[in-house]
Structure 1
Amino acid sequence: MHNITRHICLISLLLGSGNGLLPVQAEMLSQESTQQEAQESETEQSGNATASPTTIYKVVGKDGSVTYTDKPQQNAEPLAFDITTQNVVTAAKVTSPPPAKPAAPKPNYSVVIKSPAPEATIRNNLGEFTISAAQPGAPKAPIYRLIFDDAPLASNSSGVFKLTGIHRGAHTYKVELTNNTGKTLASSPLQTLYLHQASALINN
């Protein structure tokens, strides 16, 4: 309605230019009318874009398959969606992994030789003497193993080793702790003993 009124006024000015009206007035009115029309056109388009919904059609095929399209088809079911609708996906909560369990401390096995003392001198013509070992703390290993002169000599669960027939001279020894498969769990320090025997050439 406003546009029609402006056009009538514009035509009146143009017709009246012969009666002394200035053409400049008509031109200004024409420019104002054009600008007003452009603004109203933009407002209408903006309102239509905001309010117009997007129509999607759901088509169910003979085989039961479902297809969605924006083109109308026969036996299609229209689905109206607001264009302002946004697809919001809730992110899955990421749970922190449980803290790693601390590694169990390794058993601290230990063994000491109770007798003889280091650098002990033993006098026995038959070469008999006893080596005794013990475990001062926990846990306890099941097996003691005697290493005599750099070679395994005997194993038992008591830690007491009675030796016989040992030749005179210096001998090295240590006691190890082992499990049932023979794995060494701990070892005593290496010690030395000196075995003395009376000579057969000396009269008793």
Structure 2
Amino acid sequence: MRHFLIVVILYSLSFPALAQEKRIYVSRDANGVVIFSDSPSPGAEEITLTVRPNLMEATEVRPIEKKAPAPEAFKVEITQPLDQATVRDNTGSVYIEGRIQPRFQRGFRVRLVFDGLAYGEPQNTTVFVLRDIDRGAHTIQLELIDQNGKLIAISPVTTFYLHRASVISPN
């Protein structure tokens, strides 16, 4: 409060000085260049300016409205199989498990993307079973979809390698 009072007193004392008229003289030199000065010179014209302080009316101060916190972003990840893991199953079955954070909400669905294509229908669990999959490298992702069909979050791509024994190459 003390600092505010000092600023108000200093401003009120300087206000009359700001409102005084200032004298400015304008003339041209031999090359025609315009010269402005605060002291008169032969042939100079006087220009009178009234300097007023630059004031702005106070505006209404409103408290900042607190908004509800934004809903947390969902994080989807595949926990099984691990990225770059080798799955050994002669029947070609692969069990996929995922995790969603924060907590899975009612009405949400999870879709499995297998080798770039949607696999089956979206479901309300993060556990999937792939059957009769060919040996080799495969990619999987999980997509979280809300009750309106909007994609909410997607997991990073996980690559796994399915190893199935064969008659030609048992290893």
TM-score class normalised by the smaller sequence: 0.5 to 0.7
The residue identity in structure 1 corresponding to 2:88 is: R
* Deviating more after overlay: 109-118 vs 97-106: 97-106
- Summarize the alignment of residues 110-189 of structure 1 with structure 2, pairs less than 5 Å apart: 110-138=75-103, 140=105, 142-154=108-120, 155-189=122-156
Q: Displacement of 1:147 after TM fit?
A: 0.7
Q: Displacement of 1:103 after TM fit?
A: 6.4
Corresponding residue SS for 1:127: coil
- Identity of counterpart residues, as a percentage? 35
Richer in helix (by share): 1
Asked which structure has the greater CA Rg, the reply is 1
Which residue number corresponds to residue 196 of structure 1?
163
Structure 2 residues without counterparts, runs of 5 or longer: 1-59
Structure 1 residues without counterparts, runs of 5 or longer: 1-94
| CA–CA distance in structure 1, aligned partners of residues 123 and 103 of structure 2 | 18
Residues 97-154 of structure 1, C-alpha deviation per residue, up to 9 Å, x if partnerless? 8966636514411112111111010111211010000113246372111111011113
Would the aligned equivalents of 1:108 and 1:139 in 2 still touch at CA under 8 Å? Answer: no
The residue identity in structure 2 corresponding to 1:105 is: A
Which residue number corresponds to residue 55 of structure 2?
none
TM-score (norm 2): 0.55
Would the aligned equivalents of 1:112 and 1:135 in 2 still touch at CA under 8 Å? Answer: yes
Would the aligned equivalents of 1:170 and 1:194 in 2 still touch at CA under 8 Å? Answer: yes
CA RMSD of aligned residues (A): 2.6
Q: Displacement of 1:191 after TM fit?
A: 0.9
| CA–CA distance in structure 1, aligned partners of residues 101 and 72 of structure 2 | 14
Corresponding residue SS for 1:192: strand
Richer in strand (by share): 2
Q: Displacement of 1:157 after TM fit?
A: 0.8
